[in-house]
């Protein structure tokens, strides 16, 4: 915007009235201030990061050129105009790093441990607390590997380009091969530390049962093939089944087996269960060979892995797997455009947000109903099933948020947080219900 030099000499006003020197100078000074103000605003906007409806833009070294306002036809239905808010770049950088670290997402690692610990307390009446703490720490380390390696692998495909996912750790480190290599190195280090700690905790369990190691190894393999090359099964829409299997039946059952209490009686019971599992595995192998390794052989193998596992543990494992999978499902709602561009056939790409929100509602209802079905058939104690009702408000809030915002990617992005809250509350309610059931069964209350 050009500056006009104000004249200090008298002259006619545009209205035709003759101004004195003092009036003329005052009028010109006012016009100068009015013309300078937009320039100050432009300079301020270049020094700050403008965040519009959650999208983060880094400050540009070049003056931003004005872009035409989008037409009404280009806006998504239901989208409301959002005000621009100037946020200092350093403050916003901290928020991006917090989003990259994903503290709430570590609940998917430690919640199976806590539910398995509650199930072990319900069955045995005591807990090896040191082992519980070790398994929680190990699970967090493995989830850190999963999150970091996913960022590294996604940077190879371009699905997490800086504009699509500014909170990617690779993007925060500047992107490129060097940033990706650093992230993957930290991820591998975290995995190694987690696996070593898992091995130590499992080795401390009585009975020498090999099943916890096998089940957790399966969970880690699921985590790799989910995003890692050359598999990238999440790009084929298989992320949710992998998530369910890894965190539910596999990890939760493994943690229960690894939390057998100490003591001679417990060691004898654990050894007997391990022997039964080995015998069942041998029988399964023979049956599979006789049947040509068909579906019957697979079922026999599953039976061998779950030999001696109480029905309550199986029910809890299925419920934990369901709530964990809902988190992954919700994380796709705002990423459809990026997934399509990268060739990723996620469930949201296949369904669209309108059908997906109905699937989300059905999943929430089925999970809560599943707890009562498990109680009705005697697999889950009734106090645990009833306790899960305390998490139903979180489920309703999650579904309502999806219904209201599913058409606008920027608005629906926080849906994953609602899913995490429901997942945590549901798991804690299960834990409390199992503890209450134990107390009621032993006359402790």
Residue 266: the pLDDT is: 57
Q: Which residue has the higher pLDDT, 28 or 305?
A: 305
Render pLDDT for 58-77 as a digit per residue (tens, 0 to 9): 333 333 333 444 443 334 43
| Cα–Cα dist 19/10, whole Å | 6
| Cα–Cα dist 28/6, whole Å | 5
Residue 278: the pLDDT is: 55
- Mean confidence (pLDDT) of the chain: 79
Model pTM greater than 0.95?
no
Render pLDDT for 210-243 as a digit per residue (tens, 0 to 9): 999 999 999 999 999 998 999 999 999 999 999 9
Proportion of the chain above pLDDT 90, given as a percent: 54
Q: How far apart are the first and last CA of the chain?
A: 78
Q: Do 205 and 259 meet the contact criterion of CB atoms below 8 Å apart? A: yes
Residue 82, pLDDT above cutoff 90: no
| Cα–Cα dist 182/153, whole Å | 12
What's the angle, vertex CA 286, arms to CA 284 and CA 292, rounded to 5?
A: 95
Q: Which residue has the higher pLDDT, 14 or 409?
A: 409
Least confident of 45-49, 123-127, 248-252: 45-49
Q: Which of 377, 395, 374, 398 is nearest to 386 (CA)?
A: 374
| Cα–Cα dist 301/214, whole Å | 12
**Domain layout of the chain by residue ranges:** 102-261+288-441
Render pLDDT for 287-312 as a digit per residue (tens, 0 to 9): 545 555 555 566 777 778 888 899 99
DSSP secondary structure, 356-395, as one string: HHHHHHHHHHHHHHHHHHHHHTTSS-HHHHHHGGGGHHHH
List, in sequence order, every residue forming a beta bridge with 179; answer none if it has no partner: none
What is the arithmetic mean of pLDDT over 244-267?
88
Residue 63: the pLDDT is: 37
Phi, psi at 49, each rounded to 5°: -100, 125
What is the arithmetic mean of pLDDT over 379-393?
98
SS3 12: strand
Residue 303: the pLDDT is: 78
């Amino acid at each position: 915007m050009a500056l006009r030099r104000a004249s200090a000499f008298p002259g006619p006003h545009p209205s035709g009235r003759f101004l004195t020197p003092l009036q003329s100078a005052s009028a010109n000074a006012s016009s100068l201030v009015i013309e300078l103000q937009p320039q100050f605003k432009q300079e301020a906007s270049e020094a700050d990061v403008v965040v519009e409806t959650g999208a983060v833009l880094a400050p540009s070294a070049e003056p931003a050129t004005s872009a035409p306002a989008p037409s009404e036809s280009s806006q998504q239905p239901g989208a409301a105009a959002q005000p621009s808010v100037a946020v200092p770049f350093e403050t916003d950088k901290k928020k991006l790093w917090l989003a990259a670290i994903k503290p709430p997402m570590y609940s998917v690692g430690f919640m199976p441990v806590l539910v398995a610990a509650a199930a072990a307390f319900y069955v045995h009446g005591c807990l090896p607390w040191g082992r519980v703490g070790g398994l929680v720490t190990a699970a967090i380390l493995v989830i850190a590997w999963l999150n970091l390696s996913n960022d590294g692998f996604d940077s190879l495909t371009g699905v997490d380009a800086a504009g699509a996912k500014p909170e990617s750790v690779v993007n925060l480190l500047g992107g490129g091969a060097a940033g990706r290599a650093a992230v993957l190195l930290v991820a591998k280090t975290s995995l190694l530390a987690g696996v070593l700690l898992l091995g130590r905790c499992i080795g401390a369990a009585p009975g020498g049962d090999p099943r916890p190691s096998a089940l957790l190894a399966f969970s880690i393999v699921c985590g790799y093939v989910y995003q890692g090359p050359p598999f990238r099964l999440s790009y084929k829409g298989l992320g949710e089944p992998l998530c369910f299997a890894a965190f539910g039946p596999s990890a939760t059952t493994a943690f229960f087996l690894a939390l057998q209490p100490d003591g001679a009686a417990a060691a004898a019971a654990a050894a007997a269960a391990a022997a039964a599992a080995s015998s069942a595995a041998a029988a399964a192998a023979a049956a599979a060979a006789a049947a040509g390794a068909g579906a019957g052989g697979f079922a026999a193998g599953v039976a061998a892995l779950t030999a001696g596992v109480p029905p309550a543990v199986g029910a809890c494992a299925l419920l934990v797997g369901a709530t964990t999978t809902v988190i992954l499902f919700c994380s796709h709602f705002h990423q459809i455009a990026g997934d399509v561009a990268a060739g990723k056939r996620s469930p949201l790409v296949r369904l669209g947000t309108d059908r997906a929100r109905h699937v989300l509602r059905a999943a929430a209802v089925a999970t809560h109903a599943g707890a009562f079905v498990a109680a009705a058939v005697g697999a889950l104690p009734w106090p645990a099933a009833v306790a899960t009702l305390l998490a139903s408000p979180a489920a309703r809030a999650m579904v309502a948020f999806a219904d209201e915002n599913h058409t606008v990617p920027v608005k629906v992005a926080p849906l994953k947080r609602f899913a995490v809250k429901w997942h945590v509350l549901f798991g804690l309610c299960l834990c409390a219900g199992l503890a209450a059931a134990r107390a009621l069964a032993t006359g402790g209350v």
